[in-house]
Structure 1
Amino acid sequence: MSTDDRVEWLSKHDIPVIVNGLVEKLLAARPNDPKEFMAKLLTETTHHHDAMASGQFARTTGANGGTLLLVIDPQNDFHPGGSLAIEGADEDAGRVADFIREHAKSIDEIVVTLDTHQRMHIAHGVFWVDPQGKHPDPFTIISAEDIEKGKWKTTIPEYQGIAANYAKQLEARGKYKICIWPEHCIVGTSGHNVRKPIIDAISTWVDATLKEVRWVTKAESIFTEMYSGLQAEVPTEDRRTQLNTNLVDFIKGFSRVLVCGEALSHCVNFTVRDLMRYYEEGHHKVTVLTDCSTSVAGFENEGQQFLKDMEALGVRLMTSKEAGALLKQ
């Protein structure tokens, strides 16, 4: 296979080039077997992803801790006008932005997670069809039994076994069943962008502190949902789905961790639950800003149960005004 043929093969298989020069480097090694090429590409990409993640969180505020603001998925698609809009999210965003501006000098670091999807994703309708070839409507719940009985099957037959196993693992772990969401936070779309009041406030924070923002993408694997900013609902061999130990260790370096963003019932919920699981000694250091996060409609009870569970573990629940008053002390 010539180099041109390998490039053509790569483009036909829609392999995303996410590392500049990586493909060229591998092609220069003249692999003759496409499978060998793909195996090396996956290995190199994983190594690059790990190196990027490690480097991103290499610096902390030091032994004395400091204050970290963790902003979960503050993206357009979760706000009015977006494909998965949450009523009240714009008000949340306004309070988050005000908090950042008012306390910029007291916030030592900002971490922002970004829900980052392909259209072809296990939680999007295009991934599934019924026996008549129709895609499921948004908010359809797909159970392991539904898949087993043929009520829903994957659009790509080769994905059927993966999806069936995923559904079973979700239910065995007591997780939410597969929910078909409106397509949201698609890479390259405006819905993936951070809501303007928040990104403007973050820019103000950068001007005030001359520090970098720590951006964390999540949910990039098409085979598993990833509500948590730390790990997927069902981690796989794909390193992006596994526990982000670099981020966990980074968070542990702070004496105060303030959490906000969307949605309370899902991504805030599971990010904080995972953090509690891997940071048992730091429960009292974490505060959820209760007026800066709202549940997805229909999941309000789950959001409230999350708050009750966290309070019982020692997590603080405060409004942004209450947390701001503490920062001024």
Structure 2
Amino acid sequence: MTTKTQLPIPEYFDAHKISQIWRVPYQERATEANNWALKHSIQPAASDEKRICLLIIDAQNTFCVPEFELFVGGRSGSGAVDDNLRLCEFIYRNLNAITTIAPTMDTHTAMQIFHPIFWIDDAGENPIPAATLITLEDVQQGIWKVNPAVADSIAGGNYAELQKHCLHYVQKLSDNGKFPLTIWPYHSMLGGIGHALVSAVEEAIFFHSMARHSQALFEIKGGNPLTENYSVLQPEVLDGADGNPIAHKNAGFIDKLLEFDAVIIAGQAKSHCVAWTIDDLLTDIVARDSMLARKVYLLEDCTSPVVVPGVVDFTEQADAAFLRFAQAGMNVVKSTQSIDSWAGICL
């Protein structure tokens, strides 16, 4: 197989617009992508001998634009913005090597178990988002209880069953050693601008689709009102208090990812949705064949941890997770390195 030379960055790309929101001129970019493919002898993805998937986790405005609800700043304060600049440049430079791009979309509605409206205290007040963790003890002692007003929308009016589910839910989180239930600000709201991909990232994905005749594999997660869904591969809790399933592992998507010769992972946040997704992927890999871990590449400079100065800093937890993934056989790499230089990749 021949080595694929890295490509230049298209002239239209503006690094200063990474944190801005704008409309992608689709037809214009489609025409440019066609011309770009002709100019640089870029072949359709179907002809790839080495099939590479770029999995982009939650590169949405809600996480990646500074004034939005859950901007992932990392310790630098500009983490997701810098990450997306490098990510876009990585896509353009390696357009002829990336077979498929799979963006995940965190997707929520108002009344979900991790949103403030779902819970009340004795005074009828909702919890403060990003500052409230609801533990098993909190629910057992009635410090936080389900808001009766949401039962009609979520449980057909059966408040007792909804309260029973939520006690079961926090019990499962505790039993499985997961983080306590975090109350998040309303974010990634379906139909809202925060739900959309960062414009520059969307543009790069669309340009790739046009130049390589490769449909992007969009994967939606997070719409179940009864469970959190950090990982795109499975929600935090799969069953209800009665033992019946409330959600399922995303086995089809795991199968699809592992069909590729290499899977490259980037996105937000390194400490949460990225780490959870990789962890679930690794669990499935170990169950099948631990050697499959070698086909996974983590773009460490295209992801940042959740850091709220003076409140929380998940940098150490994120770094520890990536170290564990590397020890399991996954490859921690940088976007500035040539794909050809990565272990196990031969284009």
What TM-score, normalized to structure 2? 0.74
Contact 1:289/1:323 (8 A) holds in 2: no
AA at the equivalent of 2:127? P
Query: How far is the alpha carbon of 1:241 from its aligned partner?
Result: 3.0
Structure 2 residue aligned with 1:52: none
Instruction: Specify whether residues 132 and 111 from structure 1 end up closer, same or farther in structure 2 by C-alpha distance, changes over 3 A only.
Output: same
Structure 2 residue aligned with 1:48: none
Contact 1:62/1:253 (8 A) holds in 2: no
Q: Secondary structure at the match of 1:212?
A: coil
Structure 2 residue aligned with 1:113: 104
Over the matched positions of the two proteins, sequence identity in percent amounts to 31
The answer to whether structure 1 residue 209 and structure 2 residue 219 are counterparts is no
The answer to whether structure 1 residue 313 and structure 2 residue 323 are counterparts is no
User: Residues of 1 paired with 2:245 and 2:81: CA distance?
Assistant: 33
Q: Note the alpha carbon deviations across 1:175-230, whole angstroms, 9 max, x for none.
A: 11100111110100000000011001011101211111111100110111011110
Contact 2:48/2:99 (8 A) holds in 1: no
The answer to whether structure 1 residue 78 and structure 2 residue 73 are counterparts is no
**1:1-329 correspondence to structure 2 within 5 Å:** 65-79=50-64, 80-87=66-73, 88-139=79-130, 140-156=132-148, 157-158=159-160, 159-236=162-239, 241-280=247-286, 281=289, 282-297=292-307, 298-326=313-341
User: Residues of 1 paired with 2:167 and 2:47: CA distance?
Assistant: 45
Contact 1:235/1:241 (8 A) holds in 2: yes
AA at the equivalent of 2:71? A
Query: How far is the alpha carbon of 1:243 from its aligned partner?
Result: 1.1
AA at the equivalent of 1:77? T
The structure whose RCO (Cα within 8 Å, separation 6+) is larger is 2
Instruction: Specify whether residues 86 and 317 from structure 1 end up closer, same or farther in structure 2 by C-alpha distance, changes over 3 A only.
Output: same
User: Residues of 1 paired with 2:323 and 2:99: CA distance?
Assistant: 28
Q: Secondary structure at the match of 2:332?
A: strand
Q: Secondary structure at the match of 2:113?
A: coil
Query: How far is the alpha carbon of 1:150 from its aligned partner?
Result: 0.5
- Structure 1 runs of 4+ aligned residues shifted over 6 Å read 60-63, 237-240
Q: Note the alpha carbon deviations across 1:26-65, whole angstroms, 9 max, x for none.
A: xxxxxxxxxxxxxxxxxxxxxxxxxxxxxxxxxx969965
User: Residues of 1 paired with 2:247 and 2:295: CA distance?
Assistant: 26
Q: Note the alpha carbon deviations across 1:274-302, whole angstroms, 9 max, x for none.
A: 11111233101101100000011121122
The range that moved more, 187-196 or 315-324, is 315-324
CA RMSD of aligned residues (A): 2.0
Contact 1:229/1:271 (8 A) holds in 2: yes
State how many pairs are aligned: 270
